[in-house]
Chains A and B, each alone.
Chain A
Amino acid sequence: MTVWLDQVRRVVGPDQVLTHPIALTAYAQDGYTLASGHPAAVVLPSTAPQVQAVVQVLSACDIPIVARGAGTSLSGGAIAGPDSVILHFSRMNRIHSIDWVNRIAEVDPGVVNLDISRALAPGGLFYAPDPSSQQACTIGGNFAENSGGPHCLKYGVTLNHILMADLVLPDGREVRLGNLAGEPDGPDWLGLMIGSEGTLGIATRLWLRALPVPPASRTFLALFDSVSEASRAVSDVIAAGVIPAAMEMMDRLAIHAVERGAYPVGYPEDVEAVLLIELDGEPGVVDADRHTVHALLKARQVRALREAETPQERNLWWANRKTAFGAMGLISPRYYVQDGVIPRHVLPDALDTIRRIGQHYRIRIANVFHAGDGNLHPLLLYNDRDPDEVERVKEAGSEILAYCIRVGGSISGEHGIGLEKLQEMAWQFSADDLRAQQSIKQTFDPSGRFNPGKLLPTPGRCIDFHPLP
């Protein structure tokens, strides 16, 4: 057992290998708190050759590997079993170069998402995908999970912004996929890797597409006395042909929490829903869209409309929204956030269904979500010291996902499957679909060493394939 440990220590240096039991406890969870696992060791590589060497050592000894960035996964993607080793990428956090002419940033996988936009800002550029955890989450994790964020409504998800990547495969080979032109040459191997949740390969360097900061941008808040009116307004805006940069919704319980958090906006206590809408682009287009959106909101009984007057005000509104998950800690010991997607037009019905499911299982549910693209984030509040409530929260969660599939949506928009939604994978996909996905995994990782137990339900092991009842 210690042979591989000694070898790994020689690769990265003894200080960069943790085996102290208490230190490993600190790595037992990520942002998903309904599961935990104690890894055998944590290794912190500093360079791509070190990653490759560590993977080769561990592969030779048949040790499973889990890659971890900032550990902000909401589906347990970075939780490791007792026989696994965590590769923690926090020390590989350099922005290597920025090609201002071709608008490409070359970065390490451990770079924090927000740091990329900060580095691009002096040249008037930004990196578009902005998960709400962007102040902490890393680009390597974004790559693995194909992360989204509020502004993906207009700009697309991580997949649309990664041009090229170096990866280490489970057999220890390093490959470069994609190209700087951003057009796949033959099969889209890079596209296959993005969102594979660390089960097929581990990124060691990434080339990202940077975009020019739009010349005009307007951000406003629309307060509503009814969630369904707010939901209908969302559908109206999209139906009118306007694509906002972002269109977010929070309901009353969510507002209650964020107003007690680090960035209170001053929402009235009795408001039932708030929409945070951002329009950006050419000044003329933004002005025209603004008129359209205002008129549509007014037609849906909006109580009040506020427009951000300064960049500081806009940043405050976004900070308030983006720290909403963490703010649940103020109103509940734990939360379980879901990530189901539904067709936009069923939003009012979906929120009603979620409310009824919450009542049935006696679980408080706050809603914070990317309304514009129908990506729900119901936050199921629970106490982890109450085993009965933990069970109820899991059942309520599953039922919400079953509903999403029933209305033609999907079980995950951007948080990934991880450990969390294995069972629901079998509801979403047919046995044939899953077998096809399994065969891809088999091709790249026949021994199942990369992030085992995640993403794909294993036939005949923990979970059987069974269709949605």
Chain B
Amino acid sequence: MANLEDCVHCGLCLSACPTYQVTGLEVESPRGRLVLLSQWREQAAARDSETRGWLDDCLDCRACEAVCPAHIPTGHLVEAWRSQDAPEARPARALIRLLGLFLGSPRGLSWFRRLARMSQTRWGDWLIRRMARWLPPGAPAVKAGLPTLSAAGVSRRDLSGDGTSAEIFFFVGCVMDALYADTNRHAAELLRMAGYRLSIPQDQRCCGAVHRHSGSPEAARHWAKTNILLFEHSEARYVAVDAAGCGAALKEYASLFPPDSPWYARAQRFEDAVRDVVELLAESLPPLAPQSDRAITVHDPCHHVHAQGIAQETRALLHRAGYTLAEMRESTLCCGSAGIYNLTHPEKSQALLQRKLAEIPDGAAFVAAANPGCLLHMQSGLSAQGGTQAVHPIDLAWQAYHDAGLGTPGSVTL
């Protein structure tokens, strides 16, 4: 893999970088960050809080990696720096440890959903206002972005597998499982409509993306082993995932292990099997007649378009489901959610969010985003405006098939 010395300073990454776009600073650009990384490595004097701040502002959106003619993995290099250098200096670290308690196990996820649901009651509202000063500044905004949560539990509880010889290991994720449980149910239903049989192991774990991006790969490695074992046991052909961030992390499982580890090859086999649900459905669902009553637009999550090269598939699926698309400008620019960036960097995150929301075409009823972080973040901004809603493309597709009478009666509607 290319390294930071291989940058030839062509500068083509600058316009792709969200933090360069909002600040205009070379030190907030990928090319600048490579200079900072090499300075950090070479001289102790460079290791101060300002330099750390510029490096740590990286969103991990991978937009620079997608456009780099020399394939410099700038996002990955910043990630490696985070895990090696002065991790205690970053507030994200403590937050991650706390989040890990919830996201790390199915039981924690159930609590996570209960707490999120409680925050939507009048009592919860009161409590959050009272506690505001102890919460990260971005937290109230996150709450505003939550979907309305029903009394139903996490998605895995009522999703059962189709017995033996399943083609698909359905990856339920953590935030998807707890907060976007309906989306997971819809994805499972559409996959079955497309003719797949599913295996849905109850004790599968979080993909570890947030931990990895924040410089704590140990947790990710631990959970990866569980998921790999479960996948091997399922004998499925694909691992299907409906969150862009999880998909990108699952497709990089091998890099969690040293190449001489026996886990490396197993992780590689796992990686190769990972498909986003939109990839699996784009060509396999029956086409519906076009409907033009609800205009929609697509936001391409970074970990879809930059990390996995998925963009056309989302549009193909929505087309097939009969939607008419109005494309937004800069659909591939980060919305500012970026894992827990909205909590750790509220100002930059908000600047990116406002820029993103301003590009939503007038009259769009929905902005489709195939990632829980983007959905939460964009909806937090949209709920203040009214009008457009942020929705997972799977939910939109499911609604269309449901309206056409192809869904399961009695399922949850939008």
Contacts and interface: CB of A to CB of B under 8 A. Distances in A.
Interface string A120-137: 000000000000010111
Given A23-B50, A329-B72, A323 B12 contact: yes
Contact of A136 (B7, B13, B32, B39): B13
A133 B10 contact: yes
Interface string B3-17: 001111111111110
A88 B32 CA distance: 14
B189 interface: no
A260 B1 CA distance: 12
A326 B11 CA distance: 8
A18 B68 CA distance: 27
A71 B12 CA distance: 10
A328 B10 CA distance: 10
Contacts, number: 121
B225 to A, nearest CB: 33
B365 interface: no
A76 B39 CA distance: 22
B24 A91 contact: yes
B51 A22 contact: yes
A286 B2 CA distance: 43
Contact of B15 (A32, A33, A135): A135
A319 to B, nearest CB: 9
Interface residues of B, number: 37
* Contact-residue size bin, chain A (C-beta under 8 Å from the other chain): 35 or more
B43 to A, nearest CB: 9
A326 B68 contact: yes
B252 interface: no
B70 interface: yes
B26 A326 contact: no
A70 interface: yes
Contact of B6 (A22, A28, A325, A329): A329
B9 A31 contact: yes
Contacts of A20: 50-51
Contacts of A326: 8, 10, 12, 68-70
A169 B218 CA distance: 58
Contact of B35 (A26, A31, A324): A26
Contacts of A425: none
Contacts of B2: 329-330
Nearest to B66: A262
B69 A133 contact: no
A334 B8 contact: yes
Given A26-B31, A93-B24, 17 more contacts: A18-B27, A20-B51, A22-B27, A22-B46, A22-B51, A23-B26, A26-B36, A33-B8, A70-B15, A91-B24, A114-B15, A135-B16, A262-B66, A323-B10, A326-B12, A326-B70, A329-B72
